[in-house]
Amino acid sequence: MVEKRLILAHDLGTTGNKASLFDRDGSLLGSAFHAYPTAYPRPNWAEQDPQEWWQALCQTTQRLLAEAGAKPEAVAAVSFSGHMMGCLPVDQAGHPLRSCIIWADQRAQDEAHHMAALLGADTIYQVTGHRVSPAYTGAKILWIRHHQPEIFQATATFLQPKDYLAFRLTGQRATDYSDASGTLLFDLEERCWNEAWLAQLEIPPDTLPPLYPSTAIIGHVTPEAAQATGLAEGTPVVIGGGDGACAGVGAGVVEPGAAYAYIGSSAWISVSTPRPILDPQQRTFTFHHLHPERYCPMGTMQAAGGARDWAWQRLAGESDQLDRLAAQAPVGADGVLFLPHLLGERSPFWNPQARGAFVGLTMGHGEAEMARAVLEGVAFNLRLIFDALRPQLPHVSALRLIGGGSRSGLWCQILANCLNLPVQTLSLKSEATSWGAAVAGGVAVGLFDWSMAAAHSQVVETFHPQPEAVPLYDGLVQIYTDAYRALAPIHARLAAFQKDRPE
Active site residues: 243
Which pairs from 91-98 meet CB under 8 Å and 24+ separation? 91/154, 91/155, 91/156, 92/156, 94/156, 94/157, 94/167, 94/168, 94/171, 94/173, 96/50, 96/51, 96/164, 97/151, 97/154, 97/155, 98/144, 98/148, 98/151
SS3 285: strand
The residue ranges of DSSP E strands in 342-494, in sequence order, are: 357-359, 399-402, 423-426, 459-463
Closest CA to 373 of 324, 305, 308, 463: 308
Q: What is the rounded distance in angstroms from the CA atom of residue 53 to the CA atom of residue 10?
A: 11
Phi, psi of 327 (to 5 degrees): -70, -25
Q: What is the rounded distance in angstroms from the CA atom of residue 174 to the CA atom of residue 193?
A: 13
Q: What is the rounded distance in angstroms from the CA atom of residue 1 to the CA atom of residue 490?
A: 67
The residue ranges of DSSP E strands in 221-351, in sequence order, are: 236-238, 241-242, 259-263, 267-271, 285-288, 295-301, 337-339
Q: What is the rounded distance in angstroms from the CA atom of residue 429 to the CA atom of residue 251?
A: 9
Pair 39, 47: CB distance under 8 Å: yes
